[in-house]
Amino acid sequence: MKLSFRWYGADDAVKLQYIRQIPSMDSIVTAIYDVPVGEVWSNESIVKLKAEVENANLKFDVIESVPVHEDIKLGLPTRDKYIENYKENIRRLAKAGVKVICYNFMPVFDWTRTQLDKVLEDGSTALVYYKEQLEKMDPLTGELSLPGWDSSYTKDQLADLFKQYSKVDEEALWSNLEYFLKQIIPVAEQNDIKMAIHPDDPPYNIFGLPRIITNEKNLDRFLKLVDSKYNGLTFCTGSLGSASFNNIVEMVDKYSSQGRIHFMHVRNVKLLEDGSFEESAHYSPCGSLDIVAIMKVLHKNNFDGYLRPDHGRMIWGETGRPGYGLYDRALGAMYIAGIWETLEKTNK
């Protein structure tokens, strides 16, 4: 297992030198954030980012993410231009030493929460998804805006996207994903970069938009679209685990034994009776997922890919990007590392 940590670049409130102080931390997970989706990243930007990471004595191995342009997801005639750009980004990142690229295929919104600062019983704040709140939201009117996406699109842009997606059902989205994969996976193979799709978050349709990377049946279908070790998963325990129909331990066991998990996002969620959920501390009694059992099957299957502690609460008065503070994710990293060390020492 290679322990890694998400970093949002020089403007991130969490500094690289702080991340470096987390014991066992190996790699930084980052991206170029100032280039429009679908465009080619400059070699200069990639080299600069790599130098920043490596100057902190951390590895530049994982990119999260190279976003997929909406025209590709929609299957528009313009998609080929953006796919060629995507291929070039794969080539350029490979030259910089990147081993894994995380991406997703979610239409319009790549994650959905209804509140970013819910105060929990212990006084910390967390990202939450309450169905009652979602039912009152309409991203097209903006009367109750969608947290995290309030400024991502204008109302006219959103209306146009929703109009285009009204013609795209799940099968059409599958077809568009297959077209994309058959173009990029051969390039990934040639450049020794493993592509790792992130599941839909949460794993069901939102606002009438189709979502397909949602459950075991669909993950099986996805992996068969291009049956290559370079076509794999970012297995996010919190995204898939936010739906009770997914058995996370069994799924991690299955796909890690097949060598198709290239990147693990480990976080916990507390499932509520109505299907809502709250993000919680990694320590498993605080949530509905059994993190120890997840780590045990990864260890059993000799998982040697990248793993990062995913979203954390905001604790101890920390402010900044919701879900991505230093303190709770650092606690999560050490919780995960402690489980792994115990497994290493007790299974010899």
Report whether pLDDT(303) > 80. Answer: yes
Instruction: Reply yes or no on whether 311 is catalytic.
Output: yes
- Residue of 110, 165, 230, 265 marked catalytic: 265
End-to-end distance of the chain based on CA atoms, in angstroms? Answer: 16
Q: Which of 236, 253, 255, 299 is catalytic?
A: 236
Question: What tens digit of pLDDT does each residue of 174-190 get?
Answer: 999 999 999 999 999 99
Of 338, 49, 100, 328, nearest to 232 by C-alpha is 100
**Dist. CA 305–CA 105, nearest whole Å:** 22
Residue 144: the pLDDT is 57
d(CA 174, CA 27): 32
Catalytic residue (choose from 61, 103, 198, 335): 198
Which H helix or E strand runs over 156?
Answer: helix 155-165
Q: Is residue 56 part of a domain?
A: yes
Whether 265 is catalytic is: yes
Residue 69 falls in the annotated catalytic set: no
d(CA 208, CA 314): 31
Domain tally for the chain?
A: 1
28 - beta bridge partners?
5, 60
Q: Is pLDDT at 143 greater than 70 in this prediction?
A: no
Mean pLDDT within 251-265: 98
Q: Of 259, 265, 256, which Cα lies nearest the Cα of 333? A: 265
289-314 residues labelled b (16+ CB within 10 A) or e (exposed): bbbebbbbbbbebebebbbbbbbbbb
Catalytic residue among 282, 310, 328, 335: 310
| Tokens at 245, concatenated | 């129909």
Confidence band (pLDDT; 50, 70, 90) for 348?
low
pLDDT at residue 124, rounded to an integer: 96
Catalytic position from the list 299, 324, 328, 335:
324
Residue 155: pLDDT band by 50, 70, 90 thresholds? confident
pLDDT digits (tens, 9 = 90+) for 282-296: 998 889 999 999 999
Domain extent for 218: 2-109+168-346
**215 touches 246 (CB < 8 A):** yes
Question: Does 34 qualify as catalytic in the annotation?
Answer: no
Share of the chain above pLDDT 70, in %: 98
Average pLDDT value over all residues in the chain: 95
For residue range 264-279, list pLDDT tens digits in order: 999 999 999 999 999 9
Annotated catalytic residue 262: no
The H or E element spanning position 266 is strand 261-266
Q: What is the pLDDT of residues 65-119, one digit of tens each?
A: 999 999 999 999 999 999 999 999 999 999 999 999 999 999 999 889 999 999 9
The CATH number of whichever domain residue 88 belongs to comes to: 3.20.20.150
Q: Is 280 helix (H, G, I), strand (E, B) or coil?
A: strand
